[in-house]
Chains A and B, each alone.
Chain A
Amino acid sequence: MTQTLEAPKTKIPPSTHPLAEIIHRLEAGGTMLPDTPENLMQIIGLYKAYAVPMDFYWRDLLYIAEQVFLNPLPWNKYLISDEYLDRENKYSGDNADLRIWRGCGDAHPELREFMAQGELKKDLPTILHHLWHDRINMEFAEECMRSMLWHRDMYKPWNQFDGFLDTDEYKQNCDRAINAYFKGNPVMLGLYKLFPDMFYEQCRQMSYYSNLGLFWEVMAPVFFEMSDLYDEGKMTSVPAAMDFLVNGIFAIAGRPIYHHVYIKGECFEIIPKSKGFTWLYEAALPYVEAVFYRTAPFRGTKSYNAQAGQVPDAQPDFHYGVLYADKFPVGTAGIPPTFLAQDMLHFLPDYLVEYYKQHCRGEGDTIVQLAVSFQRSMYCVTSAVIQALRAALLYPLDDEDPDHLMANRQFFEAQMDRFLRPEARIRDIQNQEYR
């Protein structure tokens, strides 16, 4: 099954890059992740396990962005309204704009079951599940959102969302919404008069809630569909999975990214759809950059000393994302991916539950094993992004012109340069025994 690792039969000499093997694989239409049935099983299983909590993430993110908005004490922001659970996904269900997943448009049945019973498998009031932390961990989703907010000027100038947040137009839109939201609340309005920028910054954060919610609204059905195709035996290789993702990226590239707030039933368009912000440029690419590559060092098992240069000076050099992350501390307090891993643990397909039982500590460390599989699956997603960018901006892999092939080569090499730092897990995932 493994793909040919020799240089493809092209008119350009083999790459001399340290990761040449992977570059040649990409040039042959493959992924950074080796094409093995075991890898395919792991990544598809994880897409499914990821998609169910993601179905909650995007709903709650939009719920917070559109309904909770600037509530100074948002204790109930994770207690999503039924309206948002029933909200039709624009990309699945019968009323979809573009039906990617064949299934339902409202909340996934497994999600509803978990929300009702939780890990305890008991029908308790939602508030008790919530307080017992037996719920979907929105903290992870918010961590991703904050990461995007914090690494703001990514993909400039192609990403225009971010620049817009600093314009007067944006502030005027916010101003209307803030005045409406805090109408009859002199304390908050007084604070707003005193510290307007603080309120704008909160609005920017809310806009990123919306941004990420709209981004994940698309990804959940994509992953569900991939899982269904795999279960039917129609998705048989890692490159096929990547191609599905590439096509998905193109299909929904033009999905609008916006931020609407609903205050007492009235819609305030803080970022109107007419700004022309798109899913690909304003959400997907910044998301990949912020969450897959950069994020921020975790408070937790390791302390970083910025003065000693243990944290890079420049934000683009940050390398704490899923592609670099040490997955072994998952399960430790203060490690945000623990929240995600815990969420995915509840929705693993049976074949992965069995698979993890056979390795390492079995049930004892399934949470770490699945986190490593998740890392593999995100290398596949990143491969899809790289291939999509290559297709959008450069040349076909079978182009006849050596100059074009060389341009592709340079693009791939530039991408691989980011994985040369020792923290990158790209070499680990080449080995099936990394788990």
Chain B
Amino acid sequence: MILSALILVPLLGSLIVGFYPGVISLALSRSITIGFASISLLLTIATGVMFDLSHIGLQMQEFLPWLPDLGLNYSLAIDGLSFPLVALTNLLTVLLAFNSSVGLKPGEDLKRPRLFYSLLLLVNSGVIGAFLAQNLMLFFLFYEVELIPFYLLIVIWGSAKREYAATKFLIYTALSGVLILAAFLAMNWLTGAASFEYGAIDTTDLSRNTQLVLLALLLVGFGIKTPLVPLHSWLPDAYVESSAPVSIMLGGILSKLGTYGIIRFAVGLFPETWVSVAPVMATIAAITVIYGSFCAIAQTDMKRMVAYSSIGHMGYIILGTAALTPLSMIGVISQMVAHGLILALLFYLIGMIESKVGTRELELLNGLLNPIRGLPMISALLILGAMASAGIPGMVGFVAEFMVFQGSFAAFPVQTLITILGTALTAVYFVILLNQTCFGKLDTKSSYYAPVARWEYMPAFILTAVIIFLGIQPSWLVRWSQVTSDAIAFVM
């Protein structure tokens, strides 16, 4: 029941905030949202306590026939792949509910707060559902549920080019959905499975070419969401034009659905075919890393820089998945969490800077480390976040990347080395970013920034604490997924 609760609690919250007939003030809707998101987080902790670390495969299964004629059942379960992502999602949701006004220009208030909070909880519910669904159709339903809320989140709360970005996002993601649906339906029909249950699908009897086509459909479908180069072009626009909380959701939560889908469905259902395409995927991963990093170096907008860096970092995940060794798979799952945490921190801090200074342009920012008139704590955390993203030891990014590289090197040495070069480039663009924004002198003409309130630091502090804690004590991160990743790697 606890898994259903993880889906239903935010859904209920979403309905209350969105449809309660009376007047709900901004403060109250925020409190309600924090309340429901906190319950979800507590439920996640409870799930973690109940989680059996030694259990191979799915646990806490819930099954309810829904439309058995269509093969659609309400079937939930959790394993070491989905649990860390559920936890990440619920943590970020609480933090976003706590400060949804991050990234607003000085003096602005959050527009249409009830709708915003309602959509935030709805998205949370949908993503959790997708992570837990063990029926292909159910997964697809949850997967598609995100589409319209995210479209609205971008188009209502975004910046100048938001309509362009939102439409691009909609088209890409809809296409991704269509491809995945086509693959799921074909798998059901071709294998003659009785239902869309994950466990019921067995592709081993299909011909190699059929498998390749189906796998390709899934890879393109999930590759758009991830995104993989060259399917990424929606991402910089969507991230940059979105408001800060929405870009945190996009980067921290939604993009994980893509990699999750690849591991769960592409690797899980077509293990042998995956192994045969793995060299290609590893190469695409290396290209993604290098391309994302070089693009990031060229950017003049902090957020766009971090958006491209995010593309690069998703490449590590694909590389590790292609290698499919036990170590690389732990690395992959860790990297998904690490990426979500670090990206959320960076976007949050950039949002804070935009809120206080009014710009994200590297050219216009200067001297933010100034202890009295600047944003010293925000800058310090930004430096820390950049270090984490660049994979400095002691923080979670290092742990994940190291395991990915260590696990992948034996399988794909060239691609791994190229990817490692990409990590070095991470340091390059972050040094550019920090040098331009945090160092130097504040401009005396314009530098009258509002101070950062203590509560506004809270989400950043919490994220930083988690990033450092998991960096120093990585066993807390890998323990959940060790058995599962062994199992995934063992599939081959």
Q: Do chains A and B touch in the complex (CB under 8 A)?
A: yes
List, in ascending order, chain B residues with CB within 8 A of A330's CB.
372
- Do residues A328 and B441 form an inter-chain contact, with CB atoms below 8 A? yes
- Do residues A328 and B451 form an inter-chain contact, with CB atoms below 8 A? no
B1 smallest CB distance to A (angstroms): 50
Say yes or no: is A323 at the interface (Cβ < 8 Å to chain B): no
Say yes or no: is A95 at the interface (Cβ < 8 Å to chain B): no
List, in ascending order, chain B residues with CB within 8 A of A302's CB.
440-441
CB within 8 A of B372: which of A326, A367, A428, A435?
Answer: A367
Of A24-32, A71-79, A169-177, A357-365, the stretch lying at the interface with chain B is A357-365
Say yes or no: is B66 at the interface (Cβ < 8 Å to chain A): no
Count residues of chain B with CB under 8 A from any CB of chain A: 13
List, in ascending order, chain A residues with CB within 8 A of B372's CB.
328, 330-332, 361, 364-365, 367-368
Say yes or no: is A248 at the interface (Cβ < 8 Å to chain B): no
List, in ascending order, chain B residues with CB within 8 A of A328's CB.
367, 370, 372-373, 441-442, 444, 447
Say yes or no: is A272 at the interface (Cβ < 8 Å to chain B): no
Chain A residues 337-389 with CB under 8 Å of chain B are 360-361, 364-365, 367-368
- Do residues A329 and B451 form an inter-chain contact, with CB atoms below 8 A? no
Say yes or no: is B448 at the interface (Cβ < 8 Å to chain A): yes
Say yes or no: is A301 at the interface (Cβ < 8 Å to chain B): yes
- Do residues A331 and B444 form an inter-chain contact, with CB atoms below 8 A? no
Say yes or no: is A250 at the interface (Cβ < 8 Å to chain B): no
Say yes or no: is A155 at the interface (Cβ < 8 Å to chain B): no
Q: A397-435 CB contact bits vs B (8 Å, 1 = yes)?
A: 000000000000000000000000000000010000011
CB-based nearest B residue for A371: B372
List, in ascending order, chain A residues with CB within 8 A of B21's CB.
none
List, in ascending order, chain A residues with CB within 8 A of B373's CB.
328, 331, 360-361, 365, 368
CB-based nearest B residue for A434: B444
List, in ascending order, chain B residues with CB within 8 A of A301's CB.
367, 370, 440-441
List, in ascending order, chain A residues with CB within 8 A of B440's CB.
301-302
Chain A residues 178-218 with CB under 8 Å of chain B are none
CA gap between A82 and B324 in the complex, in Å: 79
- Do residues B451 and A361 form an inter-chain contact, with CB atoms below 8 A? yes
- Do residues A360 and B370 form an inter-chain contact, with CB atoms below 8 A? no
B443 smallest CB distance to A (angstroms): 8
List, in ascending order, chain B residues with CB within 8 A of A428's CB.
444
CB within 8 A of A326: which of B371, B444, B448?
Answer: B444
List, in ascending order, chain A residues with CB within 8 A of B448's CB.
360, 435
Interface of A is mostly: loop
CA gap between A430 and B373 in the complex, in Å: 21
CA gap between A30 and B448 in the complex, in Å: 30
Chain B residues 431-446 with CB under 8 Å of chain A are 440-442, 444
CB within 8 A of A332: which of B371, B444, B447?
Answer: B371
CA gap between A301 and B440 in the complex, in Å: 7
List, in ascending order, chain A residues with CB within 8 A of B451's CB.
361, 364-365
List, in ascending order, chain A residues with CB within 8 A of B447's CB.
328
CA gap between A207 and B135 in the complex, in Å: 89
CA gap between A327 and B371 in the complex, in Å: 12
List, in ascending order, chain B residues with CB within 8 A of A326's CB.
441, 444
A343 smallest CB distance to B (angstroms): 16
B260 smallest CB distance to A (angstroms): 44
CA gap between A425 and B488 in the complex, in Å: 67
Chain B residues 363-386 with CB under 8 Å of chain A are 367, 370-373
List, in ascending order, chain A residues with CB within 8 A of B367's CB.
301, 328-329
List, in ascending order, chain B residues with CB within 8 A of A360's CB.
373, 448
List, in ascending order, chain B residues with CB within 8 A of A365's CB.
372-373, 451
CB-based nearest B residue for A425: B444
CB-based nearest B residue for A329: B370
List, in ascending order, chain A residues with CB within 8 A of B450's CB.
361
A386 smallest CB distance to B (angstroms): 24
B86 smallest CB distance to A (angstroms): 40
CA gap between A361 and B376 in the complex, in Å: 14
- Do residues B370 and A332 form an inter-chain contact, with CB atoms below 8 A? yes
Q: B345-374 CB contact bits vs A (8 Å, 1 = yes)?
A: 000000000000000000000010011110
List, in ascending order, chain B residues with CB within 8 A of A332's CB.
370-372
Chain A residues 309-330 with CB under 8 Å of chain B are 326-330
User: Which of B372, B441, B447, B450: most chain A CB closer than 10 A?
Assistant: B372
CA gap between A63 and B35 in the complex, in Å: 65
CA gap between A331 and B370 in the complex, in Å: 8
Chain A residues 281-331 with CB under 8 Å of chain B are 301-302, 326-331
CA gap between A367 and B371 in the complex, in Å: 11
CA gap between A332 and B372 in the complex, in Å: 8
List, in ascending order, chain A residues with CB within 8 A of B442's CB.
328-329
List, in ascending order, chain A residues with CB within 8 A of B441's CB.
301-302, 326, 328-329
Q: B374-417 CB contact bits vs A (8 Å, 1 = yes)?
A: 00000000000000000000000000000000000000000000
User: Which of B373, B442, B447, B448: most chain A CB closer than 10 A?
Assistant: B373
User: Which of A302, A330, A332: most chain B CB closer than 10 A?
Assistant: A332
CA gap between A331 and B371 in the complex, in Å: 6
CB-based nearest A residue for B449: A361
A161 smallest CB distance to B (angstroms): 36
CB-based nearest B residue for A431: B445
List, in ascending order, chain B residues with CB within 8 A of A435's CB.
448
CA gap between A327 and B448 in the complex, in Å: 13
CA gap between A329 and B368 in the complex, in Å: 11
CA gap between A368 and B448 in the complex, in Å: 11
List, in ascending order, chain A residues with CB within 8 A of B370's CB.
301, 328-329, 331-332
CB-based nearest A residue for B439: A301
List, in ascending order, chain B residues with CB within 8 A of A367's CB.
372
A9 smallest CB distance to B (angstroms): 35
User: Which of A327, A328, A330: most chain B CB closer than 10 A?
Assistant: A328
CA gap between A330 and B367 in the complex, in Å: 13
CA gap between A353 and B367 in the complex, in Å: 27
CA gap between A367 and B444 in the complex, in Å: 15
List, in ascending order, chain B residues with CB within 8 A of A368's CB.
372-373
A47 smallest CB distance to B (angstroms): 23
CB-based nearest B residue for A327: B444
A200 smallest CB distance to B (angstroms): 39
CA gap between A360 and B451 in the complex, in Å: 9
B258 smallest CB distance to A (angstroms): 43
Contacts A361-B372, A367-B372 aside, 15 further interface pairs with beta carbons under 8 A come to A301-B370, A302-B441, A326-B441, A328-B370, A328-B373, A328-B441, A329-B441, A329-B442, A332-B370, A360-B373, A361-B450, A364-B451, A365-B372, A365-B451, A368-B372
* Interface, chain B (partner A; CB < 8 A): 367, 370-373, 440-442, 444, 447-448, 450-451
Interface pairs A-B: 10 shortest CB-CB = A331-B372, A328-B442, A361-B451, A331-B371, A365-B372, A368-B372, A328-B373, A364-B451, A328-B444, A368-B373
13 A-B pairs with CB atoms under 8 Å apart are A301-B441, A302-B440, A328-B370, A328-B372, A328-B441, A331-B372, A331-B373, A360-B373, A361-B451, A365-B372, A365-B451, A367-B372, A368-B373
